[in-house]
Amino acid sequence: MTGELSPIDKAKFVAAKRAAEFVEDGMRVGLGTGSTAAWLVRCLGEMVREDGLKIRGVPTSTRTADLARDVGIEVISLDEAKWLDLTIDGADEFDSNLSLIKGGGGALLQEKIVATASDQMIVIADAAKEVEHLGSFPLPVEVIPFGWQTTQALIEETMVSMDVMGRQTSLRMNGDRAFVTDEGNHILDLHLGRIGNPRQMAMVLNQIPGVVENGLFIDICDQVVIGYGDGRVEVRDINAGTVSEGRVDFVEDDNLFKDI
Instruction: Judge whether 17 is annotated as a binding position.
Output: no
- 227 labelled binding-site residue: no
Does 92 appear as a known binding residue? yes
34 is in an annotated binding site: yes
Q: At what angle do helices 7-20 and 35-51 cross, to 10 degrees?
A: 50
Strand intervals (E) in the chain: 28-31, 56-59, 74-75, 86-89, 93-94, 100-101, 121-126, 139-143, 168-171, 173-174, 177-178, 186-191, 211-214, 216-217, 223-227, 232-237, 242-247
Does the annotation flag 77 for ligand binding? no
Long-range contacts of 152-157 (CB under 8 A, 24+ apart): 152/188, 154/208, 154/209, 154/210, 155/188, 155/190, 155/205, 155/208, 155/211
Confirm if 215 and 137 have CB atoms less than 8 A apart: no
54 marked as part of a ligand binding site: no
The DSSP line for 208-254 is STTEEEESEE-S---EEEEE-TTSEEEEEETTTTEEEEEE----TT-
9 is in an annotated binding site: no
254 labeled binding residue: no
95 is in an annotated binding site: no
The answer to whether 89 is annotated as binding is yes
Answer yes or no: is 36 a known binding residue. yes
Q: Which of 24, 46, 80, 111 is catalytic?
A: 111
| Annotated binding-site residue? 82 | no
Is 213 marked active-site? no
Instruction: Report how far Cα 122 is from the mean position of its chain's Cα atoms.
Output: 10
Task: List residues forming the annotated binding site.
Answer: 33-36, 89-92, 102-105, 129
User: Which residues are part of the catalytic machinery?
Assistant: 111
Residue ranges of the annotated binding site for substrate are 33-36, 89-92, 102-105, 129
